[in-house]
Each structure stands twice: as C-alpha cells, then as structure tokens.
Amino acid sequence: MTIDKETPNFSFARRKTLALLGVGGAVSFFAPNLLGRGRALATAPSRPTGQLIVGLSQEPTVFNPHKLHLEVDEGIQFALFDTLFTVNEKGIFEPSLAAEVPTVANGGVSEDGLNWRIKLRDDVKWHDGEPFTAEDVKFTLELLVDPKFNSWRRTGHELVRNLTVVSPTELTWRMEAPFAPYPSILAATFIVAAHTFKGIEDKNTAPIDSAPIGTGPFKFVSRRPGDSIEVAANLDYFGDGPYIEKVVFRYIPDQTVLYTQFTTGDIDLISISYIPPDKYAEAKTLPGRDVQLMSASSVECIAFNTGRAPLDEQAVRQAIYYAFDRDTALEQIYYGVPIATESYMPQQSFYYNPNLPQHEFDLEKAKQLLDAAGWVPGPDGIRVKGGQRLSFTNSTTAGNYVREQVQQYLQQTLGEVGIEMTIENMPAAVLFADFWLKSQFHSVMHGQDFLTGSDPDTSDFFLSTNSAAKGGGGLNFWQYSNPEVDRLLTEGGRLFVPEQRKPIYAKIQELVRNDLPFITMWQRRTVRGHKERLTGYRDNVNVRIDTWNIGDWYWS
C-alpha cells in the first residue's frame, strides 16, 4: 500500500507510451500488458468463503453505472460490472472483458489513434446466464450518447463513429478526431447488458436501476433502502476470484457511529468517507486492524453554483475565499491529515501547476472586494446590493461532523465581513440527487475526483456544454462557463505528448483558480482501515473508490 507519495512525476511515467505515439506513432497506444490481471493469489481459497461487511457513510443512489452518479455508487458498481480493460495501481492497463489491451502492435489501434479494433473474451456470461458479446459493448457506447438518456459522461464517446460489430467477439470504430483521454475513459466505462434494456422505451427507467445484471465478480442479491445492499459471489466469473461468498454494504451516515462499529468489529472495512482524521492516532492502536494514511487523487471542495445569485459574482466568490481561515481549519479540525492545495489536480500528477496564487486569510481584502462590487453593510451587518442580501446556503452530508465543524467555522468568519451563510445539511441520498446533479444548490461542501485515471482532461467538469442543468451530459454541477477554458480543453484533448499538454492544463488550472467556481480546500489523504485478516486490499489513485479490486479480496 502506498503512503503519501509526494513525487510529482507519476503521470508521465504512466503515459509515456502516448508520448511516443505522438512523436513517432509506431508504438502501443497503451502500456503493454505484461502482468495480466494479477488475480491469481496462491494463498486465496479455492472457492468463495466467508462474509465481508463494508461500512459506507453514504447510501448509494443508482445501480446503472451510466446515469449521473456519485463516488459511492461506484463502490457497488465495481462489484457488479466490468470494463473492457482496467488500470491498476501502477497505472498499467490490463485486459478485463477485452481479450487483450488494444495496441498499435496487435492491430487494436491505428498509428494515428483513429481506428480501433477491440477483441473480446468468449467465455463471459451475464449474471442471468446470457452470453456477453460485442453487441453489449456497442449498446453501451451508444447509450452513453443517447440524447434521451441521462448520461453521466458523453465526453470522448461522442467522437465514436462507424461503430460496427464484426463478430460476437470483435467490434471496430473510428474516432472523429484523436482524443488522448479516451483510453482512461474506456477503462472507467462499465459495460451493461443490451438485452436488459430490450423493449424499454425510456432507458432511464430500465430494470437495471433496481435489479442490476452485470458480468462482475459479484451478483446483486437485495437492497434494503436506508440500510444495506447485499451481493453474492458470481461462481461463473470469468476471472480469478471472487474469494468472498457474501458482501454486505452497510450505510451508516453518522461518522461517529460508523467509526465505532469499525472499532467493535461490527464492520470489517470502513470505506467512504473512511476514518475521521481526529480518530487516526487512536485507530492505529486498535488490535487486529490494518490502518494506514493514503494519498488520494480527490480534493475537498466548496462548490459554488455560478448560475445562481449571489454566487454568480466572481467578487463574492473571491471574498468568501479570503474570509476562509483554511490553515486553521486544516490543522485544528482535520488534524493536518489532508494537504493544502490551490488546484483540483493532484499534487502527484505530472500536470500539476505549483505556481497558482496561494490562499490568504485576509478579512480586510474580503471587505474591500465587496465594497468595490457595491455590497454595502445593512442595518444588521449583512451586506446588501439592489435590495438583495448577501446571503447563501451551504450544504453537506448530514452526520459528517468534521465537515460540519468547518461549516460552522466558515459561517463565523463570513459573518465578520458581512456575508450570511446558512447551513442546510441533508442525507447523502437527498443531497446528491437532483439537488446536486441538476444544480439546484447554492453551495455544497464535498469531495471530488476530477480526473479519469491519470489523464488531466477535465472536460466533464469544466466544459460549458456539460451542465445537466442546461441540458448537457456531464458533471459541470457549478454551471461554470469560460470560453478560454472550453478552447483549451479542446486543444489539450487532441495532443498526446505530455510535455505539449502540460502548459495547456497548467493554464486551465490558473483560469479555474482565478474564476473560483469552487474553492479547493485541500487534497485528500484518507485514513483507511480494515481487519488485518482481509487480504488483497490495495489503494489505487487511478480510481475513485477503494472497492476497485474487490474480486481480489479474501480472508486469510
């Protein structure tokens, strides 16, 4: 397991094959698969055995991996579904549903990156016994760009043309233009069964939403709303594993209760939102527990809805940042566990921009900004302009007491400059439903992973056309719009050499830092824990949640 990697060069090492492709075009589009899937474990049981209870602080919202969804949803989806190929903790692509990782050498990708040929395994079955074929891949890629479907990601997929099923185990397509992030996007694209959507006119209401059928290492058993989800070992799984007979994902929204159940052994593994920072020192002393501090690619944010007054004003957003005593919150509330940062890009990334303006806690500058913007103090101290009070709400997941402490601290300092922030927290299932997905909020304190694997593209989040509230298909929840960012994202997606891409994404980070559609508070370092006997658990900064390899886990 990796503990707080601080070297800033991991992305280039993982993507050097793309650099070579951009220079000479005669090598693999992907890192070659030299290791296989890595699932054969000599000490693993010969058949699935035992039960695992995973504790979650949020309740998963959707099973369909292609509808707008959250990080916690992927915790379940990794158990139920598979992708064509995966990316492991070293950044190496490995085949999954695909028989091999497509390369220039094996004919999977043309030298210009435009023509693709995918060869599939012939021994995969869906959980209901139906065979997995190329038709399922074709259906999945077409579903993602269906204008009537509430797709969580169209970026990259909308460039696919001439999608053709050659045989049950082979399909081809052509990209309208080279798109460097597409390999990482495909590695994060779960394949769904075409036959489960047959005869369904509105694909947003398919049976997969309540009774998911996948190819993954586990089969769906049941869901108890507000309580848990149960899955069981898929005995017909095409890969090595699974090694655990039954997994129960139990949601416990109160972080104190979640941690207590970890200490008592009622849960075997504490997943999102992991162990609270103030419990790290204590957790390390727990007998029979493996507790480690791990770097994550996600950042903790305060998201602003830039399409809603008064947060549509840049001066207001900047004043809020000046009035936020981030360093004190980091040290006294988070016990110094996360890493202070100005960028949404992980500091370990090759593309990270270390030269962004550093945050200042300065109440006088906040007041000066608001004065200049025409916000004047009212009778009660709260500023007004044009008859409107400088007031907004902030929401986060109810029961996350660490975030709640940050909210209360921010509320206090904002009041000192004449900004009223009211706190309206709610259960995760409510907060991250349409309230979040369709930009109905004022501001939200949350964690966000902006990257797909190690690729720096953030079109899903920053492209102005990717706001669901405006009819787009993407994750631009803050309704952010900057024409220069749109142009740079398009340019960066067409380049393959990391050194050529780096200044483009550095500039995007600079523009986003200036515009402040969200405040990046700190990069996460999570405190993760599980019972010592659980084997196979590995961190992976290229995915959003820790169950990415749940099929590998077993009780020693």
Instruction: Calculate mean pLDDT across residues 272-290.
Output: 94
Residue 157: the pLDDT is: 95
Q: What is the mean pLDDT of the chain?
A: 90
Residue 543: the pLDDT is: 87
DSSP for 357-378, please give it.
PPP---HHHHHHHHHHTT-EE-
CA distances in angstroms from 303 to 103, 216, 529, listed in the order given: 39, 34, 28
Q: Nearest CA to 383 among 355, 359, 410, 417?
A: 417
Q: How far is CA 173 from the centre of its chain?
A: 27
Residue 406: the pLDDT is: 97
Q: Among 19-28, 349-358, 450-459, whose mean pLDDT is lowest? A: 19-28
Identify the residue whose tokens are 């091999």: 100
Q: Side by side, which strands form the sheet with 383-385?
A: 376-377, 383-385, 388-389
CA distance 235 to 318: 55
pLDDT at residue 203 greater than cutoff 70: yes
CB 394 within 8 A of CB 422: yes
Surface-to-core class of residue 216, CB atoms within 10 Å of its CB (0-12 exposed, 13-18 middle, 19+ buried)? buried
Q: Which of 301-310, 332-341, 533-542 has the highest mean pLDDT?
A: 301-310
Residue 429: the pLDDT is: 84
Single pTM value for the model = 0.77
CB 328 within 8 A of CB 511: no
pLDDT tier, 9 (very low <50, low <70, confident <90, very high otherwise): very low
Q: Nearest CA to 359 among 329, 325, 328?
A: 325
Q: What is the pLDDT of residues 204-231, one digit of tens each?
A: 999 999 999 999 999 999 999 999 999 9
List Cβ neighbours of 344 (8 Å cut-off, separation of 6 or more).
Answer: 299, 301, 448, 450, 458, 509, 512, 518, 520
Q: What is the pLDDT of residues 364-398, one digit of tens each?
A: 999 999 999 999 999 999 999 999 999 999 999 99
Q: Which residue has the higher pLDDT, 3 or 296?
A: 296
CA distance 553 to 78: 13
Q: Nearest CA to 65 among 171, 152, 180, 168?
A: 152
The continuous run of DSSP H or E covering 219 comes out as: strand 218-224
DSSP for 275-297, please give it.
E-GGGHHHHTT-TTEEEEEEEEE
